[in-house]
């Protein structure tokens, strides 16, 4: 069961947007993901709210907690993104394009949009599994505040991994049960597979654009080491993501069948509801000497 935690992050004035100094390219890529959050996550909230009246009443509690977690995420990314947009004004057109695109997508059917949200949530879950596996390499020596923002977000993506999938499937079943056509069978699976591919293309496009702009500002665009690292991360992440997305299209799949990384659960168990804080990364995993 998901829990809505109101964690607040405050950034000192001297916060460096290259918050992973040992792997600055990772900050470039992660920041481009952060830039997307205030476009994508309000979209999740709006689309899922539209589905609420059609869902099985038993689903509503977890669906509302999922909405609550996403609302917390984008609010906190918005605060962090102010730093990014001030340092890298070239990201502003990407931010505006993402805002417009997700508004445009919303004009399509509710079924399409719920499938799109489910696909994006599988991508988010894959990012969490991938980051847990590579966390020492990616986060060692990182600035605690942004590192904790990302890890808190990823931990909650693991926690609510089934929510969007359940909303999508439940909405489809109810529409199908009401005699609507196109909500079951091979055509439905083919449409969902196409939606999944579109989600991958859109996310990859924005992340590549944001990372390239940031690398250029940081004068790392022509740095071979940066591209070697980014290529290796992209390939390992693509393997994780494409496996999970392929499984998600198969009939009978449920996200609960995927094995979660335990690291987040152990870390989130330390959440203090009184102060609404999670432990900072350096308290949990001190950086290795380099
Ligand atoms: Fe989120
Ligand atoms: Fe999510």
Q: Of the bound ligands, which one is closest to the alpha carbon of residue 117?
A: 2
Give the distance (Å) from ligand 1 centre to CA of residue 73.
Answer: 5
- The confidence band for 288, taking pLDDT boundaries of 50, 70 and 90, is low
CB 125 within 8 A of CB 244: yes
Region of 37 on the Ramachandran plot (φ > 0 left; ψ -120 to 50 alpha; else beta): alpha
CB 46 within 8 A of CB 106: yes
Give the distance (Å) from ligand 2 centre to CA of residue 90.
Answer: 27
For the chain, the structural domain boundaries read 24-282
Q: Is the pLDDT of residue 81 over 80?
A: yes
pLDDT of residue 272: 85
Q: Is the pLDDT of residue 270 over 90?
A: no
Torsion over CA: 198, 204, 208, 214 (sign): positive
Q: Is the pLDDT of residue 289 over 60?
A: no
Helix and strand tally (H, E) in the chain? 11, 0
Host H or E run for residue 62: helix 60-87
Tens of pLDDT along 111-134? 999 999 999 999 999 999 999 999
Give the distance (Å) from ligand 1 centre to CA of residue 139.
Answer: 19
CB 137 within 8 A of CB 30: no
Q: Of the bound ligands, which one is closest to the alpha carbon of residue 2?
A: 2
Question: Can you name the CATH fold of 24-282?
Answer: Ribonucleotide Reductase, subunit A (1.10.620)
Q: Is the pTM of this model over 0.85?
A: yes
Residue with more model confidence, 95 or 1: 95
- The confidence band for 290, taking pLDDT boundaries of 50, 70 and 90, is low
Q: Of the bound ligands, which one is closest to the alpha carbon of residue 77?
A: 1
Tens of pLDDT along 133-159? 999 999 999 999 999 999 999 999 999
Size of the chain, expressed as the number of residues it contains: 290
């Amino acid at each position: 069961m998901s829990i809505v935690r109101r964690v607040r992050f405050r950034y000192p004035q001297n916060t460096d947007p290259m918050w992973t100094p040992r792997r600055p390219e990772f900050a470039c890529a992660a920041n481009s993901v952060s830039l997307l959050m205030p476009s994508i996550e309000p979209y999740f909230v709006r689309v899922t709210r539209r589905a609420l009246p059609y869902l099985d009443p038993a689903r509503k509690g977890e669906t509302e907690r999922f909405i609550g977690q996403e609302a917390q995420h984008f609010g906190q990314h918005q605060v962090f993104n102010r730093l990014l947009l001030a340092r890298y004004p070239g990201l502003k057109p990407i931010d505006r394009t993402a805002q417009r695109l997700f508004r445009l997508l919303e004009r399509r059917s509710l079924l399409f949009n719920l499938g799109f949200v489910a696909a994006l949530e599988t991508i988010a879950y894959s990012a969490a599994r991938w980051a847990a596996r590579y966390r020492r390499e990616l986060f060692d020596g990182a600035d605690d505040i942004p590192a904790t923002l990302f890890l808190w977000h990823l931990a909650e993506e693991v926690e609510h991994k089934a929510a969007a999938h359940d909303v999508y499937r439940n909405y489809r079943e109810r529409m199908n049960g009401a005699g609507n056509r196109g909500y079951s069978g091979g055509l439905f699976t083919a449409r969902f597979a196409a939606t999944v591919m579109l989600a991958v293309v859109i996310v990859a496009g924005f992340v590549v654009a944001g990372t390239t702009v940031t690398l250029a500002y940081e004068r790392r665009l022509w740095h071979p080491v940066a591209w070697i690292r980014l290529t290796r991360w992209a390939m390992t992440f693509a393997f994780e993501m494409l496996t999970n997305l392929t499984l998600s299209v198969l009939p009978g799949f449920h996200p609960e069948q995927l094995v979660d990384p335990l690291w987040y659960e152990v870390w989130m168990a330390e959440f203090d509801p009184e102060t609404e804080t999670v432990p900072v990364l350096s308290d949990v995993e001190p950086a290795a000497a380099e």
